[in-house]
Homo-oligomer: A and B are copies of this chain.
Amino acid sequence: MSEKNKLSIICMSGDFDKAIAVFTLASGAAAVNYEVNLFFTFWGLDILKNKRGRRFIGKGILARFFNFLLGGRSNLPLSRLNFAGLSPLLMTGLMKSRNVATLTELYDAAVALGVNFYACEMAMHVLGLERADFVPEVKDVLGVATFLELSKGGQTLFI
């Protein structure tokens, strides 16, 4: 009768290495049958954009400017030693050479294992983003209160 174990992560960072951490934790937990809830907000929303490259999207000039600079999932920087985007490429090469799952593979694994993806309503509003700007895997658009309700009784991380 015990409830299912639960892991919830507020994914605010758009850094490459932190995204790797999010998806490693998410797929690792889902693989041992945890309910996993990922709540993407601010820079983290970048990971969910359906266009992976740099694009001027969003409503309003300032929002378009921020969204372009962020750049989408293919342009996530390392939080340290980024070297203008070279290091994430090197790191991906390193992961491939080790037969470790890359970000794209970890993402696909998370989807296959039933990890729940949520997008933060307020951050979408600030950045002028709409549901249509995101990958179809996004289950819902939520506010803070709903996310807290969903994550109650489990382990919750902020990354």
Contact = CB atoms under 8 A, between A and B. Distances in A.
Interface string A129-146: 000000000000001110
Interface residue tally on A, bucketed by range: 35 or more
Contacts of A149: 32
Contacts of A24: 122, 144
Interface string A70-98: 10000001011100000000110111011
Interface of A: 5, 7, 9-10, 12, 14, 17-18, 20-21, 24-25, 28-29, 31-32, 34, 41-43, 60, 62-63, 65-66, 69-70, 77, 79-81, 90-91, 93-95, 97-98, 100, 122, 125-128, 143-145, 148-149, 151-152, 155-159
